[in-house]
Amino acid sequence: MNPFLKNLYIRQPEKKDENEIHQIFSIVINDAFDKEPNFSDPQEIVDEIRNQKNKLELFFSSSGEEEYFLLTEYENQIIGTLSFGKPSDIIIKEIGKEAINSPALKSAYVLPKFQSRGVVKMLFFEIIKEIKRRGHSQFYFDCGYALAQSYYLKLFGEPEVFLPHCWGQNCHHRIWKCRVNDYLLK
């Protein structure tokens, strides 16, 4: 394992981390929307940050039952997050009832200067153990960010659902359906 990955420390968030995690959401979401090809409405950024803060709040208020978060620290700084919880409306609409009781991965956010260095991949292999521990055999993941979709095509392969031009010209949405055991074995 490379020295950077060896020095990552993965754990659940504590209440004292809340402000730092909010900062991560704000920095990463602003940066991600800046890089999106057809982004135009700043209100989307505000809504997405609020949505992520609500998920984190649900993690604290439900003690990880309704929404489960992990974060990564590097040299005492939080640099990334990943969570799972109830599938989004778009997953349920496209997949149907079978998706309702399966978890969906969410909140994959890594500070720009630490992206593409294996942070989310490491969080992913850790969070999958918790999904398994809760008795699930499959999980979903959906993504509407153009850049991030290229990462996930690499990580998860071809999606179950492809929604072309869902968010405007050339802004597609993809939904992956994955078997837990495929990722525990890797």
> How far, in Å, are 83, 104, 131, 150 from residue 14 at the CA level?
14, 22, 20, 31
Residue 151 binds to ligand COA (criterion: CB under 6 A):
yes
Q: CA 39 to CA 139: how far, in whole Å?
A: 28
Classify 33 as helix, strand or coil.
helix
Q: CA 131 to CA 104: how far, in whole Å?
A: 10
Residue 148 binds to ligand COA (criterion: CB under 6 A):
yes
Which ranges of 110-169 would DSSP assign to H, the alpha helix?
Answer: 119-133, 146-156
Q: Least Å distance between CB 135 and ligand COA? A: 25
User: Which residue number, 69 or 145, has a Cβ lying nearer to ligand COA?
Assistant: 145
Nearest to 24 by CA among 83, 64, 68: 83
Looking at residues 19 to 58 of the shown chain, list those that interact with ligand COA (rule: CB under 6 A).
28, 32
Residue 88 binds to ligand COA (criterion: CB under 6 A):
no
Looking at residues 101 to 140 of the shown chain, list those that interact with ligand COA (rule: CB under 6 A).
108-110, 115-121
User: Which residue number, 117 or 132, has a Cβ lying nearer to ligand COA?
Assistant: 117
Residue 169 binds to ligand COA (criterion: CB under 6 A):
no
Q: Least Å distance between CB 29 and ligand COA? A: 7
The answer to whether the CB of 108 falls within 8 A of the CB of 176 is no
By the criterion CB under 6 A, which residues form the site for ligand COA? 28, 32, 108-110, 115-121, 143, 145, 148, 150-151, 154-155
